[in-house]
């Protein structure tokens, strides 16, 4: 049985292994620097479907199936499916779960959903309630933009500090008895809101939550940036990453040389017009599954702190003038 560490962190006595992962990405993501790491690059973002929403749910379901196929397993071999997305009532995850027929726990943590699912899945397994847990999250540029901002075809100009919602789905399979990088610790974050209300400025809204969770993790576990080969955030983009570095420097922690943000890794911003970088539930899922895990398996990183942040607003709250609450969750992944 796992144990509490400090106020908000915990350790797993039987750390689950990440035995498989799969990613499906859109054409734009397939033009980026991580293209060779992705499993499936779509020729067109509709994925052969009639609507953007149907395309996103298909991406999520197919990435989950692919993660299972890689280790010769079927959906019936898995005890729980934990998944979420950005759309109202997490319809992408709900309909994907309908097709998979695995006991389903639907989650919404905005862009923090992937790490939320990772930690909850590890808890289920460490508590003895499952041997295998499948988790996934997704986002689609077209579906998210028209829900949270404006339909893409309307042609509204985006400010330079905005981020580009990625078209990506990522899935991981955890196995209590498998081999692979292990989820050894976690820190659940609290909701932080410093008054940002601009829905185009997600990085600034989420950076304080990221800083709070990282500080809490360091204090609870007695660690510091030098305890990790890499600290991965998702997805703060250019503005949020700079804010996070500044906030932690004010508290005595220097992240230079340790920090990589998924929103800055997924695109080549010199060649792709994505402004401040990538965002969306699929961004952290895709970059972690395709790039970070591969680097760990190659032996480049032994211990990483993996953090995902989420802006917890809705179209209704934004239209009513509310500020944007944010949350960040962190997991420690060990290669050994």
| Structure confidence at residue 155 as a pLDDT band (50, 70, 90) | low
Alpha carbon 59 to chain centroid distance? 15
DSSP H/E element including 175: strand 168-175
pLDDT of residue 152: 61
In the chain, what percentage of residues exceed pLDDT 90? 90
> Cβ(135)–Cβ(252) under 8 Å?
no
| Rounded CA Rg of the chain | 18
Average pLDDT over residues 214-237: 97
Least confident of 29-43, 150-164, 172-186: 150-164
3-state secondary structure at position 332: strand
pLDDT at 305: 99
* pLDDT score recorded for residue 148: 76
Cβ atoms 199, 320 nearer than 8 A: no
Phi, psi dihedrals of residue 312, rounded to the nearest 5°: -100, 35
Furthest-apart CA atoms within the chain: distance in Å: 53
| Domain segments of the chain as ranges | 3-175, 182-334
Average pLDDT value for residue range 173-177: 98
Residue 200 vs residues 14, 165, 242: alpha-carbon distances, Å = 41, 11, 16
Angle at Cα 36 formed by Cα 96 and Cα 70, nearest 5°? 45
Q: Mean pLDDT, to the nearest integer, of 179-188?
A: 98
Residue 156 is predicted with a pLDDT of 67
Residue 245 has pLDDT above 70, yes or no: yes
CA 128, 132, 137: angle at the middle one, nearest 5? 120
pLDDT in tens, 19-66: 999 999 999 999 999 999 999 999 999 999 999 999 999 999 999 999
Question: DSSP class of residue 40?
Answer: E
Phi, psi of 95 (to 5 degrees): -75, -30
Equal CATH topology for 3-175 and 182-334: yes
As a whole number, mean pLDDT of residues 14-22 equals 98
What average pLDDT does range 289-298 have in this prediction?
96
Name the average pLDDT for the chain: 96
Residue 153 confidence class, pLDDT cut points 50, 70, 90? low
- List pLDDT tens digits, range 296-311: 999 999 999 999 999 9
Q: What topology does CATH give the domain 3-175?
A: Peroxisomal Thiolase; Chain A, domain 1 (3.40.47)
Burial class (CB in 10 A: 0-12, 13-18, 19+), 298: exposed
pLDDT at 160: 78
pLDDT for 161 equals 79
Mean pLDDT over 81-88 rounds to 98
The mean per-residue pLDDT over the stretch 101-116 comes to 98
For residue 209, what pLDDT band results from cuts at 50, 70 and 90? Answer: very high
pLDDT at position 39, please?
A: 98
H/E element holding 106? strand 104-106
In this structure, what token pair is assigned to residue 112? 């923090």
pLDDT at 36 (0 to 100): 98
In eight-state DSSP terms, residue 262 is H
| 3-state secondary structure at position 5 | strand
DSSP state of 11: E
Measured on CA atoms in the order 40, 38, 12, 108, is the torsion positive or negative?
Answer: negative
pTM, rounded to two decimals: 0.96
CA dist 79 and 43 (Å) reads: 33
Task: Say which residue the tokens 């998924």 belong to.
Answer: 262
Q: Looking at the domain covering 182-334, what would its CATH class be?
A: alpha beta
By the 8 A CB rule, do 244 and 258 touch?
no
Beta bridge partners of 309: 328
pLDDT band at 244 (very low <50, low <70, confident <90, very high): very high
Specify the pLDDT at position 158.
77
Interacting residues of 305 by C-beta distance below 8 A, sequence separation 6+:
214, 217, 228, 230, 231, 232, 330, 331, 332
Q: What angle do CA 51, 56, 57 make, to 5 degrees?
A: 100
């Amino acid at each position: 049985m796992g144990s509490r560490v400090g106020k908000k962190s915990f350790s797993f006595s039987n750390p689950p292994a990440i035995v498989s992962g799969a990613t499906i990405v859109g054409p734009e993501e397939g033009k980026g620097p991580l293209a060779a790491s992705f499993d499936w690059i779509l020729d067109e973002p509709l994925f052969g479907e009639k609507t953007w929403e149907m395309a996103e749910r298909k991406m999520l379901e197919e990435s989950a199936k692919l993660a299972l196929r890689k280790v010769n397993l079927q959906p019936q071999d898995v005890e729980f499916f934990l998944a979420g997305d950005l759309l109202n009532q997490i319809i992408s995850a709900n309909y994907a779960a309908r097709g998979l027929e695995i006991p389903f726990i639907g989650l919404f943590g905005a862009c923090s959903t992937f790490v939320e699912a990772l930690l909850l899945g590890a808890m289920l397994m460490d508590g003895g309630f499952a041997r295998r847990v499948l988790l996934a999250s997704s986002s689609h540029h077209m579906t998210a933009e028209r829900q949270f901002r404006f339909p893409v075809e309307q042609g509204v100009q985006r400010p330079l500090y905005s981020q580009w919602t990625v078209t990506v789905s990522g899935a991981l399979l955890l196995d209590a008895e498998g081999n692979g990088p292990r989820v050894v610790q976690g820190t659940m974050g609290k909701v932080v809101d410093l008054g940002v209300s601009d829905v185009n400025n997600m990085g600034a809204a989420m950076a304080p939550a990221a800083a709070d969770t990282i500080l809490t993790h360091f204090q609870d576990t007695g660690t510091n940036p030098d305890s990790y080969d890499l600290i991965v955030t998702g997805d703060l983009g250019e503005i949020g990453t700079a804010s996070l570095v500044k906030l932690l420097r004010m508290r005595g922690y220097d992240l230079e040389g340790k920090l990589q943000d998924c929103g800055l890794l997924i695109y080549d911003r010199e060649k792709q017009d994505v402004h401040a970088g990538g965002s969306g539930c699929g961004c952290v899922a895709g970059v972690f599954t395709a790039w970070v895990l591969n680097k760990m398996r190659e032996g480049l990183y032994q211990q990483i702190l993996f953090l995902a942040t989420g802006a917890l607003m809705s179209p209704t709250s934004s239209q009513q003038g509310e500020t944007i609450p944010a949350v960040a969750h962190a997991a420690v992944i060990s290669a050994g």
